[in-house]
Every structure is written in structure tokens, then in C-alpha cells.
Amino acid sequence: MTPTDVSQLVESLCNGNDNALNTLIEADSVIVPLLIRQFASRACGADRARIIEVIWQHRDKTTIPFLASALRDPNADVWKHALDGLVAIGGIESHNALIEFRSEIAADGELASWADEAIAQIQP
């Protein structure tokens, strides 16, 4: 799949095309860096949420730092997908990323509650 193909599929994805979602999820993981670039180029939180869902569905451990950084996104759908991805990927790296993130945020609030739940779901 070429970068142009990925770009066109992401555009379709952001317009609500479920076929694009499935195609991107089923594609080889070599597209993940292209998806991360697409994520970074989008101002719309809903678009970033759709893209990050595709990224974590690849369950690629190399995306853990990216997913951890997305926990700081102002859009709740984005950070919720980032949490989902870290839980789905699992392992010590995801657990440590969540513990580190949890130490940086306020003790209460929606994000803290979701982070605590995600940490509890991961067996390091």
C-alpha cells in the first residue's frame, strides 16, 4: 500500500467509511508510521480518534510511546482510544507507560478514573 493509498483511505475513514476502517486495520503494519503522520496532521479530534483506533488495532508494541503521548490529547475520544490500545497491547511496556502517565495527572477526574481502570486491566 502506497502513502497515497493510505492518505486516501484515511480521508475516507474520517468521512465515516467503515470499509476504509477495515482496510486500514487489515493492512500490513508497515503502514503504521504513515498513520501516525496522518494523526499528527489532523486538527479535528474526531479524525484523530478514528486514526488512533486503526493504529492500536494493529497491536504493534512499537506504538506504545505514541499511544502514551496521545493520552495527553485534549479530545476525550482520542485519549480513550489510546487507553484502549495500551490495554489491548498489554505487557510491561504498556503498564509502565500508564503508571508514568498516571503519576503526572490530577488525582481525580474522568481521565484519572479511566487511567486507573486501564492500569488494573494490564498484567505486567
Instruction: Indicate which CATH number applies to the domain containing 71.
Output: 1.25.10.10
For 34-90, write each residue's pLDDT tens digit: 999 999 999 999 999 999 999 999 999 999 999 999 999 999 999 999 999 999 999
33 vs 85: CA distance, rounded Å: 16
**109 pLDDT more than 90:** no
Which structural domain range is residue 62 located in?
A: 3-121
**11 pLDDT more than 90:** yes
Number of domains in the chain: 1
82 vs 57: CA distance, rounded Å: 11
